[in-house]
Chain A
């Protein structure tokens, strides 16, 4: 910084004013960045695998596609230890309450990825009497990955989209996902 600029308080004050108006707090914003950097690079999935997509998800976890490279590391079988719910496969009426319960058991902050045509919209079984036409009927979904089943590359892309979403989150003000979720369940009950 040049000496003249250093003395120029006016533009610094303007900068702070702008930041305050936009709702960003400089110090806390850096906290957000650190937390997001850490969280987005260590998102562990809970594999809610019901059918074909579950097998493709196993391929994603195996050596060739290796999701560990991007920070997804291992699938957890307990919702208490996972960060997001990987819904891979058809969800039918009998399974719906169980999916809801597993979602409720996930610790905050939590996310949902709907993998495959069935989880997205009911897919080839949409017209069935026993299929839930898309899990967004019962859960708030963060990322949709279409395909029947999606290729492992597509699943990795979808999961990395979730990472991007996590990277722009604000914990100390600004838009908070929690409010959105409350809104989602408000008209469900």
Chain B
């Protein structure tokens, strides 16, 4: 890391450094784009993967923290950029380097009102255009009179706003066009059975071929991050089960781990085993649901019934132990809520025996089908480089050959002790994404089989104080959720409430890449392409 620090200080003498879970660089905004370009093009370890951008309101200043990673060397770095101007905050955009910054910066603009100079598309991402204020600012006025429930429809705009810096340093507002007046634009969603939640897409067509897709989010934006700022740490936990409800266990695992990191608590060995097994069960149930709904989207409606048959078996196992079918609320700070059910191990072993047979059945039903093959092979292809540029993690990234599994990259819980393969394919088409998920079910079973007989005796949770306070600082942790790298960022000021809590969801980048994945393909393949990315909308909107 020292060499990176030297390089940066040689390039930008004003940069200051701090040790916050690795190296953190603070640079003034004027130098930021220069630094970003240098980091992106570094010869030895190019920081080509933008993990997330965390928008921040530090009281006097507004700004962002950029989390960067090099896929070649695995080096990680965070950069802090801030601006003192609260009335008219402006930062320089890096959307020209990392494709994923496009949506992340729009999110920051929506929540904090920070305008990104040279960003091609400075629209709100989650809230309506006529929404007053920027909600995650500390001085936001949340009274319902300012923003009542509006029952009139939003207008559809075909242009956007962009602030472009001229060579002489002046900033000029321009109006780039999204759709030309003679484009044939169709609207899909938000109430549409095949968008997997309430996603709205506007796409322009050239005959049957897609020219451009413009995704709209926010139809299920519940303001979780804002609400968390007034809840205690144990209270914030319950939101995680409702973000991506198909990776409820993993999401909660991430937040618990982040808080435990901050408190420097080591959880009991037994709890680690239970958490790991539950994470994998959750992944299986999520991939089963993917199989059912994806086949349903492609016209094989019976598959849904089969997918749910096995999913119910997983839910039964989890229900016996946790008491719920969906919002489990099982992990807690310092371990898990209560001990496992006496039948837990026996039932899981039975399930692990049945499941590989059932997978063969699935392949016989659907995968080998001529129509299914024709609709999956070579369609909606994306390359590894573009996956990294879009930060498309999870099975969708691995289908293009990017080894992005957090369980391997930054092992947590027991993933460094068990043997499993990271399923990789290189085609990057719908079939690859489909098969990666199918094969991951087998790997999950392999992990569970290694752990299930060896759960050690002992307590299931560490005894915690009734009021949990985190020391001052900032923490960022990632886990591998069912559809990609799920991150949690906490900034604490020593209170029992988080100063800022951010969830970095994998689904947002999947939707952001939809335009590139499906562009040029047929409109009929849009549903298959989107279905194979397997995004969950409440995860994106939060």
**Chain A residues near B (Cβ < 8 Å):** 47-52, 54-56, 58-59, 62-64, 77, 89-90, 92-98, 100-102, 124-125, 127-132, 137-138, 148-149, 151
Contact = CB atoms under 8 A, between A and B. Distances in A.
A86 B501 CA distance: 33
Nearest to B238: A124
B538 A63 contact: no
B147 interface: yes
Most chain B beta-carbon contacts within 10 A, residue among A124, A125, A130, A149 = A130
B305 A63 contact: yes
A149 B193 contact: no
B316 to A, nearest CB: 10
B325 A62 contact: no
A97 B151 contact: yes
A55 B538 CA distance: 12
B37 interface: no
Contact of A130 (B152, B221, B309): B221
B218 interface: yes
A102 B192 CA distance: 11
A101 B153 contact: yes
Given A51-B245, A94-B218, A102-B191, A129 B147 contact: yes
B227 A128 contact: yes
Given A55-B246, A63-B308, A98-B190, A128 B223 contact: yes
A96 B149 contact: yes
Contact of A52 (B153, B191, B242, B289): B242
Contacts of B304: 58, 62
B309 A64 contact: yes
A125 B152 CA distance: 23
A97 B308 contact: no
Given A95-B190, A138-B149, A90 B327 contact: no
A137 B126 CA distance: 22
B490 to A, nearest CB: 20
A58 B309 CA distance: 12
A163 B333 CA distance: 44
A94 B245 contact: no
What is the interface residue range for chain B against chain A? Answer: 35 or more
B107 to A, nearest CB: 14
Contact of B242 (A63, A124, A129): A124
A52 B329 CA distance: 14
A48 B222 CA distance: 17
A148 B239 CA distance: 12
Nearest to B230: A127
14 contacts: A47-B193, A50-B220, A52-B245, A62-B304, A62-B309, A63-B305, A93-B149, A93-B150, A94-B219, A125-B223, A125-B224, A128-B226, A129-B142, A137-B149
B508 interface: no
| Interface hub of B222, B312, B327 (most chain A Cβ within 10 A) | B222
A35 B245 CA distance: 41
B305 A94 contact: no
Nearest to B144: A129
Contact of B325 (A124, A128, A151): A151
B308 A64 contact: yes
A137 B218 CA distance: 20
Nearest to B312: A64
Nearest to A75: B193
A131 B222 contact: yes
A40 to B, nearest CB: 25
Contacts of B220: 50-51, 89-90, 92, 95
A136 to B, nearest CB: 12
A5 to B, nearest CB: 58
A58 B308 contact: yes
B224 A59 contact: no
A124 B239 contact: yes
Contacts of A127: 227, 230
A33 to B, nearest CB: 35
Interface in B206-229: 218-224, 226-227
B223 A131 contact: yes
